[in-house]
Amino acid sequence: MKIKTAEFVISNTDVQKCPNTTIPEFAFIGRSNVGKSSLINMLTNRKKLAKTSGRPGKTQLINHFIVNNEWHLVDLPGYGWARVSKTDRGKFGDIIASYLLDRQSLVCTFILIDIRLKPQPIDLEFINWMGEKKLPFALIFTKADKISKNKVESHRAAFNRALKADWAELPVSFITSSLAKQGQEEVLDYIEDVMNSLD
């Protein structure tokens, strides 16, 4: 997929106020500081479309962007620093859970994982929660430029081993670096394939 246009649409704290359209939507989520906003800028060839920060918790809203006037790209707040609550919706933050559970036009959520780290319980819990709710997702490993190629492969394998505890089949995954512009074509082509599969 070639990026022709990418524009900011609206920021919200409430899924009810998200754009009232049926165009297909792809969301990006992950722990705070994992590189969601940087990845969105890399994917869309825009330096400052999504706001990035060295400080965790920069993105606190549901941010809608429209790409090629064809699909919505959504930058979500990071999970992992929200207060843990016992309620189903509260665990990863009310805003995030309500959005993921109620947003009709959401087609696929990309869950971002920092490739430098060993499998983090919060990421595995979130992936399992998505599975329980039967929400489609794919994994994007981020910041691949920060470690050697060998480590990238061994960390990905370790993550897959952790997933195998709960999953019979491994999800689709991508290795990316926003700094080195790695993985752009693969992720965009996947989005295109998913859109083509919609009727």
- The CA distance from 110 to 137, in Å, is 6
Please state the closest distance from residue 59 (CB atom) to ligand GTP, in A: 3
- Nearer to ligand GTP by Cβ, of 57 and 136: the residue is 57
- Nearer to ligand GTP by Cβ, of 58 and 89: the residue is 58
Among 82-90, 132-140, 162-170, 175-183, which window interacts with ligand GTP (CB under 6 A)?
Answer: 175-183
- First CA to last CA distance, the chain: 19
Q: Contact between 34 and ligand GTP (CB under 6 A)?
A: yes
CA dihedral 169, 121, 144, 168 (to 10 degrees): 0
Please state the closest distance from residue 184 (CB atom) to Mg ion, in A: 18
What element of type H or E holds 37?
Answer: helix 36-44
Among 19-27, 35-43, 128-136, 157-165, which window interacts with ligand GTP (CB under 6 A)?
Answer: 35-43
Q: Which residue has the tokens 């990238």?
A: 152
Evaluate whether 195 touches 68 at the Cβ level (below 8 Å). Answer: no
- Nearer to ligand GTP by Cβ, of 54 and 121: the residue is 54
Q: Which residue has the tokens 């996947």?
A: 190
Q: Which two tokens stand for residue 169?
A: 């089949």
Among 2-10, 16-24, 26-34, 115-123, which window interacts with ligand GTP (CB under 6 A)?
Answer: 26-34
Strand boundaries in 56-195, DSSP class E:
62-67, 71-75, 106-114, 137-142, 173-175
- Nearer to ligand GTP by Cβ, of 44 and 59: the residue is 59
Residues near ligand GTP (CB under 6 A): 30, 32-38, 52-54, 56-59, 78, 142-143, 145-146, 177-179
